[in-house]
Amino acid sequence: MSATAKVLDPCSASRMMWFDKRDQRALFGDIRDEEHLLCDGRVLKVEPDVLMDFRQLPFADGIFRLVVFDPPHLTRAGVDSWMRAKYGMLTSDWREDIRQGFAECFRVLEQEGILIFKWNETQVLVSELLALTDERPLFGHKSGKREKTHWITFMKR
């Protein structure tokens, strides 16, 4: 881990939301390290700095100022689909996976650290996810053409 990394993105996938995909302040993690050729010829790369499972983060307690938690949001997708390659898939035990993910993200956050949670509720509602943590969000925002993507901000108690 870089000594300057104060931000953790444990589900970074192809770092789509990042302005600087090599920002030294951030540590990019994912359970996948893979490359996909898309139908239009572009290459989608999932290249984490560290291979990690968001359900069991390999870090000490309270070391990050900010965690960006953008877990896979799909419960169903074709085996070779672009959506699956881009976002990954939830397991059949997704509720427990997300519960553990929230717990781990809050564990590695410093006191009063900030967690940004991003979720697309095309297949699972945000309310179902928020029920999986005891932490309460401060505020949020919906975006996208159908306002299905939610950005929710938490501050660790």
Please report which confidence band the pLDDT of residue 52 belongs to, taking 50, 70 and 90 as the band edges: very high
Q: Which of 31-45, 54-68, 110-124 has the lowest mean pLDDT?
A: 31-45
Tell me the pTM: 0.91
Map out the domains of the chain with their CATH numbers.
7-155 (3.40.50.150)
Q: Two tokens at 136?
A: 């309460």
Calpha distance 68→11 (Å, rounded): 8
Is 62:68 a contact under the CB 8 Å cutoff? no
Q: Two tokens at 32?
A: 């996948």
The helix (run of H) or strand (run of E) holding residue 115 is strand 109-120
Provide mean pLDDT across the span 68-91: 85
Please report which confidence band the pLDDT of residue 85 belongs to, taking 50, 70 and 90 as the band edges: confident
Calpha distance 104→115 (Å, rounded): 11
Q: Two tokens at 54?
A: 């968001």
